[in-house]
Amino acid sequence: MQSSQRANLSGQVAIVTGAARGIGQACACALAAEGADIVTADLGPSDATLARVRELGRRALDVPTDVTRRDSVARLVEQAVAQMGRIDIVINNAGTLARVGVEDTTDEIWDRDVDTTLRGTFYMIQAVLPHMKERRYGKIVNISSISGKIGGVSSRAAGSTKGRSGPAYAAAKGGVLALTKWVAKDAGRDGIYVNAVAPGGVDTDMTRGFDYGVDSIPIPRIGQPEDIAQAVVYLASQMSNYVTGSVLDVNGGLI
Ligand SMILES: NC(=O)c1ccc[n+]([C@@H]2O[C@H](COP(=O)([O-])OP(=O)(O)OC[C@H]3O[C@@H](n4cnc5c(N)ncnc54)[C@H](O)[C@@H]3O)[C@@H](O)[C@H]2O)c1
C-alpha cells in the first residue's frame, strides 16, 4: 500500500440503512462520490437519495427494508448480491430516538429504539458476514452516538425542558459500541473491519427544533450530515486498513 492514499471505492458496493434522508443520505452520497455503487435500505422508498447517487454517475438500487425484521434484512442482502454482484461496505445507520425519561419509557418506546438501533445492526451484521467472509473483505461502519458514550445528550425544545435523548436510545447506542468491538475481534482474521462513528448533535429531522447549546462546543456549531459522512468514508475505505473495533467521535470536540 502507498504511504498515503485517497478513498477510492470504484467498483465497490455499499449498503446504507436509513438512507432516505439525513445522515444516511449524506453517507450514500459521500460513498458514491468516491466511486461506490449504492444500495439504499429504508422503511419506504429512498427516491431523493437514489437520484443524487445516479447524478454522481453511480449505480443505485433501492430495497425498502425494515431492519428490525430478520426476513426483511435477509431479503435486502439477497437482493443486493443478486443485483449488484457483491457487498463491500455496510453502513448501519437506521435509528429512532424517543426523548423521554425512565418513567415514560413504555415497552413500545423501548422496543422501537432498541430494535431499530441494536437488533437492526445485529441482523445486518449477521446477514452480511457469510458473504464478506467468503470474499475475505468487508467494511462495516455502525452509527452509534455520543449518547451511547455519556448516557444521553441534553438538548432543549423551545419553551420546554424536555429534549434529552432517552434511556432506550442511550442503551441501544452503547450496545452498538460493544457489539462493534465484539464482532471486530472475531472478524479481523477474515479481512472484515468493524468500526463505529459516534456523532454529537447533527442537523437532521431527528434534531430539528432542539437547541444543543452549540456555544459550549469547542467547534461552536451543530454538526452537518456531511461531517459524519466524511468519517464514514474513512472507515469504509482502504485508508483505515489497520483500524478495527474503534469508535470515531465526530462531535466538534464536545467530549
Ligand atoms: N442527528 C443527530 O444528532 C444524531 C446524533 C448521533 C447519532 N445519530 C444517529 O444517526 C443515524 C441517522 O440519524 P438522522 O439524524 O439522519 O435521523 P433521521 O430520523 O433523519 O433518519 C433516520 C432514518 O432511519 C430510517 N429508519 C427508521 N427506522 C427504520 C427501520 N426499522 N428500518 C430501516 N430504516 C429505518 C428512517 O426512516 C429515516 O430515514 C441514527 O442512527 C441516529 O441515531 C444522529
pLDDT value of position 161? 64
Ligand 1 near 96 CB (within 6 A): yes
Does residue 7 fall inside a structural domain?
no
Spatial strand order of the sheet with 192-199 comes to 60-62, 37-41, 13-17, 89-92, 138-143, 192-199, 247-250
Active site residue 137: no
Does residue 2 fall inside a structural domain?
no
Q: Rounded to the nearest 10 degrees, how much is the dihedral formed by the CA atoms of 57, 58, 63, 68? A: -120
Range of the domain at 170: 13-250
Does residue 8 fall inside a structural domain?
no
Q: How far is Cα 13 from Cα 245, in angstroms, rounded to an integer? A: 22
pLDDT digits (tens, 9 = 90+) for 80-133: 999 999 999 999 999 999 999 999 999 999 999 999 999 999 999 999 999 999
Quick one: average pLDDT of 183-198? 98
Quick one: average pLDDT of 209-216? 92
Sole residue written with cell 446504507: 16
pTM tops 0.75: yes
Structurally, the chain folds into a number of domains equal to 1
The residue to mutate among 96, 142, 210, 226, having the most atoms of ligand 1 within 8 angstroms of its beta carbon, is 96
What residues pair up with 40 in beta bridges, in sequence order?
16, 62
Quick one: average pLDDT of 47-52? 98
Ligand 1 near 40 CB (within 6 A): no
- Say which CATH number the domain at 56 has: 3.40.50.720
